[in-house]
Structure 1
Amino acid sequence: MSHPAFTLVRQARIPSLNIVVEEYRHLVTNARHLHLVAEDNNNAFLVAFLTVPQDSTGVAHILEHTTLCGSRHYPVRDPFFMMIRRSLNTFMNAFTSSDWTAYPFASQNTKDFNNLLRVYLDAVFFPNLNELDFAQEGHRLEFEKPDDPTTPLVYKGVVFNEMKGAMSSPIQRLLQTVHSHLFPTITYHYNSGGDPHEIPKLTHAQLRAFHASHYHPTNAILMTYGDRPAAEHQQLFEECALQYFQALQLDLKVPDEQRYDSPQQVLTYYPVEPQEAVKNKTHIVLAWLLGRSTDLQAMMNASLLAGVLLNHSASPLRHVLETTSLGTAPSPLCGLDDNTREASFMCGLEGSNLEQADEVETMILQVLEMVAAQGIPPDQVESVLHQIELSQREITGDHFPYGLHLLVNALSPMIHGGDPVAFLDVDPVLVTLRENCQDPSFISNLIRNSLLDNPHRVRVVMTPDPHLAGQQLAAEQAQLAALQANLSAEEKNQIMAQTVALQTRQQQQDDPELLPKVGLADVPDDLKIAEGNEQLITNQLPVTWFTQGTNGMVYQNIVIELPQLEEDLVEILPLFCDCLTEVGCGNKNYLEMAAWQAAVTGGIHARISMRSSISDLQTVKIVFSLFGKALARNQQALANLLQTTLDQARFDELPRLRELIAQLRVDSENSITGRGHHLVMTAASSKINPVGYLNHRWHGLAGLQALKKLDKCLENEEELAQFTTRLERIRTQLQMAPRQWVVVSEAEQQAVIANSLAQLNTTPPVATEPTWFQPAPIYDTVKQAWSTHTQINFCAKVYPTVPVGHDDAPVLMVLADFLRNGYLHRALREQGGAYGGGANYDGSTGSFRLYSYRDPRLMDTLTDFDQALVWLQNTPHEPRSLEEAILGVIARIDRPGSPAGEAISSFFNNLHGRTPTQRREFRRQILQVQIADLTRVAATYLLEQTANIAVLSDTKTLAQLPDKVGLEYHML
């Protein structure tokens, strides 16, 4: 039954996803509602609008931010972040895509869900769009000293700084350049997030006009998922928003792009630090515009095409891109991009040189000609079809709720007039695709029609320029100086008045009771934890079984506690994990192993799990695991593959190892500005205990520094041979250590899986009782500054505290949310202009960490970290603030994951002493925290003499730091 204001358009069951799709239309406004009925109490909502900016001022992105700054029924300055604190949500956010803007959330609590729904609907349809909020979130002018008009003008604004950070990433810059030329005349030509050089051109009036023309129910798609009926949601849709609107004739659409009649070539540049070498740092990408992404059959064909060319190292195009001497690694842009109304296919190289562009293009086209002429072996085609089937069946949800995952999958086609049901239920099209693949010429024709004979092709060459950053900064400063030179006295006073008005607005204390809330009384009594069943199978192999609803998937892990390793092996342990599943095994080379993996699994991987004891930060357990997933019919093949990989991996294909290390270095460098806040927190935690030290050494800035050094060394054949010997030694040590298995599946699969495991070769006998690896204790302080190319900063200040089993650990976790909510969010984001910032407690390093992300400031941020602690001790605090902090912690602890993810997480938690009993007691203690506890633990542990600092910035900014800061300088 639907609400009377809606009519049911159609209903369809999708057996492979265990959902029913219901599509409705609002009778008055023509708003569309897509509801996915599922037996899942993690209900999800999303409202989205087609947004088609015609410039790069970031209007859609800034509107997304400003929409959430107060509305008709909730006239508070910051309802979004205030609701995060008054909610048990499992997800809350907002997204700006290239052609749509969406506002999603999820919650397991009905009251909470309805609260959030009311706030979101009011926000998007009736926002205040206050001019001061636009200044805060978008852009504004201020004087360097706010009350001194003789000091230089500067640009400020959250989105302005966010996009400065985003465009510091070479890959983000490359993708934007490709899009701007692949789509020369329509909305994708522009940077929907905003180009920092264009953002200051946007006016508040233009922002309001964009909302009026785009955020109307006639242009809205309302989407819901879960176990609540559609009519309940529709009642609130009507009550909170839709009843106030009539249908409009909106001329919003994305037209077909005009086609080139010949391939285009583009040369562009990206900034690097002045001291950086520029050789082997050019990106070369070819991109083709394909058909409409709303055509499911065409998109499945394109997915197949991308898969057979690029799926794994044995795929013909990826193989050439990985092995050519013309570059270091395949471009991260390689593959199908169906996120625009017309899809595109991209491939190319990074780590090349400008003068090699013609050779790279010729090489790619020759591979395509060869494949078109020779075709693809049927087993490789079947492997790609298998991957498509597997991705359709898997229930995800560890990082993004599964319901929202399905809604987003349906959103893009639906917003452009496609069939959302078809895009959710791909099985019928997959059947057709299998039938088409019986034609030997099918793949060849796809390559010719989509690529070789398609003139709408763009070659983008993006090469480094060590002078570009300085030129761009000088241009910005010259622009600001020219603006300042032409300011009248009245205009200067207006800028200063706006600064004061914004500061006043940021300091105002809104009445939180204007917003709905849940309280501690709404917190569930118990914590849901997946429980495993341990048993030995016939060959005395220990196995832990988890029975979960996995929709026909099987997950298997081989787990080994790390034996004692020599120091030279510890140093490269993460690289061993990265290489293990990418090399040959036994009599198979790495290409044959890649093909085997793709044919029977959704991928296998190796990793290290490391945590400190719950009672002693210097005692650490480190565990190696090799894991994979497969359809149930391939469970035996998965087990055989995992065991073969562990026992027979060989590291004698030296060119392959050389390629892998080079690719890992490039990937790590590309990710710096995306995870800069994690990197500085890891650096600042690196001398608190062995976990912090090894994390920094393996996965942090020190690890990247070491990886770059190793990559250079491996150019020497003798060094490469020594490196392979070290990898072999690690494999041998692990092979001889006792192992156990972890299996996650549906109950009916367990007997079959047990029989398969029983048929495996038994674990090799251990000659002596193994000695487990235990790193040396470490306790020191860190004061570090790291330099890289970035237009923005990342800061961290970290204090050593207590292990997770200590009674003060729950208090510290609540304190982190309390400081973020009460002080850091306002100081760092609203006033400081950082895209993000806050605090957290990390139980494995026993550290309390204050951090900022994409931050225009550095020294002032470090001062704000200190002032947060002063504020804590000197300000009277309301019980409401404590309750909000506790709710935030509980919401994170209770957040559900995927069925497999919850089981595997439970196993490793238990292995590291975080038993269900311990975790439930920790949660119970969180609910008992008092404000006096917060001030006590801060005074006890957050001491200046024990503080650790790490920052990441560019060379010029770091050179301006005062000597008194005392930071030790490191260059990446």
Structure 2
Amino acid sequence: MELKSIIHGFKLLDEKQVKELNSTARLFVHEKSGAKLLNIENDDENKVFAITFRTPPTDSTGLSHILEHSVLCGSRKFPAKDPFVELAKGSLNTYLNAMTFSDKTMYPIASTNEKDFMNLMDVYLDAVFYPNIYKYPEILMQEGWHYELEKPEDDITYKGVVYNEMKGAFSSPEAILFRKIQESVLPDTPYGVESGGDPEYIPDLTYEDFLAFHKKYYHPSNSYIYLYGNGNLEEQMKFINEEYLSNFDKQDIDSSIPIQESFDKIKEIHVDYPISPEEGEREKTFLSLNYAIDRSTNPEIYLAFQILEYLLLETPAAPLKKALLDAGIGKDVFGSFDMSIQQPIFSIVVKNSDKDKKELFEKTVYDTLNKLVNDGIDKKLIQAAVNSKEFSLREADTRSYPKGLIYAIKVMDSWLYDSDPLINLQYEPTLEKIKESFTSPYFENLIRKYILDNTHGTLLILNPKKGLLEERTKKVKQKLSEYKAKLSDQEINELIHQTEKLKERQTTPDDPKDIEKIPVLSLSDINKEAEKIPQEEKGENDVKVLFHPLFTNKITYLNLYFDLKVVEQKLIPYAGMLVGILGKMDTEKYSYADLANEINIHTGGIHFYAETYGMNGDSKAYESKFIVKAKALTEKLPQLIGLMKEIIIATSFENDKRLLEIIREMKSRMEMALNSQGHSVVSDRLLAYFSEKGQFAEILKGFSFYKFVEDIEENFESRKKELIANLKEAANQIFNVNNLLIGVTAQEEDYVEFQKHITELLGSLNTAPVTQQKYSFDFSIKNEGLMTQSDIQYVAKGYNFLELGYPYSGSLQVLKTIIGLDYLWNRVRVQGGAYGAFINFSRNGNVYFSSYRDPNLKKTLKVYDEAGEYLEKFDANEREMTKYIIGTISKYDFPLSPSMKGEKAVSQYISKVTYEDIQKERDEILGTRKKDIINYKKMMQELSQQNYICVMGNKDVIKENKDIFEHLIDVFK
């Protein structure tokens, strides 16, 4: 569309086409307030708005992180205590969150509904410019930290959502490592402190500093506004100007980020992390070499180092990773290129090592890189890595975030540092330059300049230390005890009064008038019809094919679903192991390195997964599938199918050295997930106590599987023959033509290409008759405390409502919204101080509560048990019920990419969910009334009486509550 040079106070500075995004980009400045605005206009219905502030921290009190939480706790126009949650409950948002980075704070929202989009934008803009933090010190106390004291004789404790979130973050060695890497390489800049907050320093944050930070940095002159998608730009700009920016005058705000001066030599830094007194210290050290790499405003380096990091350290053909593993320095090797900071950092990390291997680590890195520079990197490896990156750039299939938000983050990687916001989106010219590497020493020169000849870096060694957590806990208790001893009776009473005042604010319902100020859509804004994903049942060589004719930009997505229930019980964990092994071992035609190159040159990737599916309306039945997920340009289908066949049919498991490397990496990555995804670990473990589906999944890929992998790694020499034999047998039982369902998502005219080439694969599979096995699972184990050196807990409780005689209904999903965003949010997060809490209901009847980074244990279980009482008193007017319904529907109407649509349709087919079921569920959601919610009181009470619980967390806390557990288990050896 044609735009005037000045529109609604915004002056147009630049307009250009971004062909890579099929978009028009326009850059504006708001003349009165100084706000900067970037519009990326295209036909994407999933509109994105974000406002970002440059917020460089000066200490590790977590000020910018706590402020990010706090501004969303009520504002001038929307004074309710938690407008953020009200929006989550009652909008059609496809994304709603806020993010603290090392140097910026971003507030993004997304919606496909224009009216909803404007509502969300209004609430967010009011939150950042006019928050209620100036009126209510309790907001800082709740979201950041406070002294908690209920009675004069009690011990004082620290409480606060961010305080507990960061205690959880600082319990993970990987999180500590990457925080310390930034700190060590850029020590004299804002990156030298912890923007998220270090629990040791969070209690140093004062209310005065908190307000001063907002006053200084949350001004339009320090803001970057981003609008993406097919929205009405003029209307959006008019609103932003009239409602917000016109109220401000331009200010000169110094939020600039200094450049770290280069070091004259690599610095060596040692940091400790906690392990339990029972854990062994051997092979628990992390070794990392870290380098400052140019600027994120250099688009060539920005993209080239993403490719170089993959090439050297991620692909199975990665030469630096291979050299480090061959040298026996550690059990896992990975890299990182941290590019969302002004001076990006490239890291080479070895995990499960020992500190006495640091010299060998350095020598191996430098010797290997020198050899690559002098002899040249394999051109096929370079081509493979570049092609892999190019495929992902062109596909732009982002699963975790809306596409427009991924672009927003990339934009800020240059815009925040006063450079062209589009340079990292316009990747075509940069990619062409990088492709010179196919015929020149391009990457070799990068390695020499930025790594071998670079003295601006650190050798960071992260060492395990027994008793460190106990030391820290003791130090905090002593500090609080000494603080209390200095207080007068009057000051103690004042603390008690503050605690009471906070609790009163937390437990007092909002004024209904304040809630009504938050805009809500009506049910008429919602599409009554559920989306119907096109799915045609076809057959090729007697194998069922589910075809999804969709526009895919000439990419074919091909998924093979092999039934796992034909596998003998003793082989289930070996099937889980195949997920991590296939594609990484030699085959008849290729070495594992050559195989990786072939995959990256010809395809968009071949990956392996194992999934277990509950059956619609049946608590007992389930299916489990071994999935081969692959994609390629349709013209490359012959190569894709040939490579899939090669991996499935011709993988050799005999190279025991390589097998051990993969198993060690598998164990290492599972350790990371145990530390970061504790809520999923405990809820999956919980389901195994009472559900066959849960137990199968637990053995296949849960905590039981982790223990299986741990045992195999520990006893590899004595078990390797058995391991190889069982892997072969599991593969033989799985990869059978009589055991296969195929999912294809492609353009209608491309199906014929699939037909032409799939026969080659089908003809090579095992043809023996198959039958599903009958399994005998042990349900005697339950109620476990999984003990770690974490400073917080993950608490799960649940059962199966179908087993108690209650049917599935769409109303349960509305109940999930109500319990999750009202009851659990207030009781477990706001009042309890946990970072998050959830409830989930499945069509097969399984239901569970779980909490995330939770300082409590029994208190949280008590909250779960009182959900029935909450429903007994549940009261919501028509407006509130409409909000809950809209918030529920928003999770169903999230825009999906073509590949995601195909996978969703197959998943529903396997679970026996028909389109009629989906429409019925939607009708039930839209028809949910207050009485339906109250009627679930009895069901929730009966569920809590079953008393199945699983907790992972702090060893001392679990032992203090050992009366509620039947088994206590150390997670790590």
Identity %: 27
Note the alpha carbon deviations across 1:816-874, whole angstroms, 9 max, x for none: 22222332211111111011113221334x22212211111111111111222212124
In the TM superposition, 1:303-322 aligns within 5 A as 303-322=306-325
895-904 or 93-102: which moved more? 895-904
In the TM superposition, 1:472-487 aligns within 5 A as 472-487=472-487
Is 2:220–2:245's contact at 8 Å kept on the other side of the alignment?
A: yes
In the TM superposition, 1:217-232 aligns within 5 A as 217-232=220-235
The alpha-carbon distance between structure 1 residues 727 and 661, as it changes in their structure 2 partners (threshold 3 A), is: same
Aligned to 2:959: 959
Is 1:529–1:902's contact at 8 Å kept on the other side of the alignment?
A: no
886-895 or 88-97: which moved more? 886-895
Q: Matched residues in 2 for 1:953 and 1:305: separation?
A: 38
Does 1:7 find its partner at 2:11? Answer: yes
In the TM superposition, 1:817-836 aligns within 5 A as 817-836=817-836
Note the alpha carbon deviations across 1:787-809, whole angstroms, 9 max, x for none: 11100011111122128997433
Does 1:937 find its partner at 2:927? Answer: no
Q: Matched residues in 1 for 2:516 and 2:233: separation?
A: 29
Is 2:53–2:105's contact at 8 Å kept on the other side of the alignment?
A: yes
Is 1:556–1:743's contact at 8 Å kept on the other side of the alignment?
A: yes
Aligned to 1:26: 30
| 1:465 CA displacement | 0.5
Note the alpha carbon deviations across 1:890-936, whole angstroms, 9 max, x for none: 11112122221122211221122122222121121222223333333
In the TM superposition, 1:153-172 aligns within 5 A as 153-172=156-175
Aligned to 1:121: 125
Aligned to 1:421: 422
| 1:141 CA displacement | 0.3
Aligned to 2:287: 284
Q: Which of the numbers 593, 602, 608 marks the counterpart of 1:600?
A: 602
Is 2:434–2:442's contact at 8 Å kept on the other side of the alignment?
A: no
Aligned to 2:892: 893
| Matched AA of 2:450 | S
| Matched AA of 2:130 | F
Q: Matched residues in 1 for 2:805 and 2:152: separation?
A: 54
Aligned to 1:577: 579
Aligned to 1:434: 435
Aligned to 1:678: 680
In the TM superposition, 1:435-454 aligns within 5 A as 435=436, 437-439=438-440, 441-454=441-454
Is 2:572–2:699's contact at 8 Å kept on the other side of the alignment?
A: no
Aligned to 1:883: 882
SS of structure 2 residue aligned to 1:709: helix
The alpha-carbon distance between structure 1 residues 103 and 691, as it changes in their structure 2 partners (threshold 3 A), is: same
Q: Which of the numbers 200, 210, 213 marks the counterpart of 1:210?
A: 213
Does 1:361 find its partner at 2:365? Answer: no
| 1:962 CA displacement | 5.6
Aligned to 1:293: 296
Does 1:348 find its partner at 2:352? Answer: no
Q: Which of the numbers 31, 50, 66 marks the counterpart of 2:54?
A: 50
Q: Matched residues in 2 for 1:685 and 1:767: separation?
A: 34
Aligned to 1:526: 529
| 1:741 CA displacement | 2.9
Q: Matched residues in 1 for 2:819 and 2:753: separation?
A: 52
Q: Matched residues in 2 for 1:596 and 1:197: separation?
A: 49
Aligned to 2:864: 865
| 1:170 CA displacement | 0.4
705-714 or 805-814: which moved more? 805-814
Q: Which of the numbers 71, 79, 89 marks the counterpart of 2:75?
A: 71
Aligned to 2:64: 60
539-548 or 175-184: which moved more? 539-548
Is 1:621–1:774's contact at 8 Å kept on the other side of the alignment?
A: no
Q: Matched residues in 1 for 2:26 and 2:773: separation?
A: 55
| Matched AA of 1:705 | K
The alpha-carbon distance between structure 1 residues 805 and 711, as it changes in their structure 2 partners (threshold 3 A), is: farther
Q: Matched residues in 1 for 2:856 and 2:762: separation?
A: 59
Q: Matched residues in 2 for 1:97 and 1:941: separation?
A: 39
The alpha-carbon distance between structure 1 residues 208 and 309, as it changes in their structure 2 partners (threshold 3 A), is: same
Task: Report runs of 4+ in structure 1 exceeding 6 Å deviation.
Answer: 777-781, 803-806
The alpha-carbon distance between structure 1 residues 743 and 321, as it changes in their structure 2 partners (threshold 3 A), is: farther
| Matched AA of 1:398 | R
| Matched AA of 1:139 | W
| 1:598 CA displacement | 2.0
| 1:283 CA displacement | 0.3
The answer for unaligned runs of 5 or more in structure 2 is none
289-298 or 34-43: which moved more? 34-43
Aligned to 1:550: 552
| 1:413 CA displacement | 1.3
| Matched AA of 1:576 | L
| 1:493 CA displacement | 1.8
Aligned to 1:904: 903
The answer for unaligned runs of 5 or more in structure 1 is none
The alpha-carbon distance between structure 1 residues 551 and 51, as it changes in their structure 2 partners (threshold 3 A), is: farther
What RMSD over aligned residues (CA atoms) do the two structures have, in Å?
Answer: 2.1
Aligned to 2:921: 922
Note the alpha carbon deviations across 1:265-305, whole angstroms, 9 max, x for none: 01111001111111001000000111011111222332343
Q: Matched residues in 1 for 2:551 and 2:48: separation?
A: 20
| 1:115 CA displacement | 0.8
Is 1:822–1:881's contact at 8 Å kept on the other side of the alignment?
A: no
Q: Matched residues in 1 for 2:499 and 2:342: separation?
A: 41
Matched residue count: 960
Q: Matched residues in 2 for 1:940 and 1:780: separation?
A: 24
Is 1:896–1:902's contact at 8 Å kept on the other side of the alignment?
A: no
129-138 or 776-785: which moved more? 776-785
| 1:780 CA displacement | 6.9
In the TM superposition, 1:693-708 aligns within 5 A as 693-708=695-710
Note the alpha carbon deviations across 1:329-353, whole angstroms, 9 max, x for none: 104xx13221110111110211111
The alpha-carbon distance between structure 1 residues 509 and 608, as it changes in their structure 2 partners (threshold 3 A), is: same
Q: Matched residues in 2 for 1:90 and 1:140: separation?
A: 33
SS of structure 2 residue aligned to 1:424: coil
| Matched AA of 2:909 | N
| Matched AA of 1:273 | S
Aligned to 2:186: 183
Q: Matched residues in 2 for 1:176 and 1:72: separation?
A: 36
Q: Matched residues in 2 for 1:198 and 1:840: separation?
A: 36
| 1:174 CA displacement | 0.6
Does 1:199 find its partner at 2:205? Answer: no
| Matched AA of 2:88 | I
The alpha-carbon distance between structure 1 residues 385 and 822, as it changes in their structure 2 partners (threshold 3 A), is: closer
The alpha-carbon distance between structure 1 residues 737 and 761, as it changes in their structure 2 partners (threshold 3 A), is: closer
SS of structure 2 residue aligned to 1:619: strand
Instruction: Give the alignment's TM-score, normalised by structure 2.
Output: 0.95
The alpha-carbon distance between structure 1 residues 233 and 748, as it changes in their structure 2 partners (threshold 3 A), is: farther
Q: Matched residues in 2 for 1:604 and 1:681: separation?
A: 29
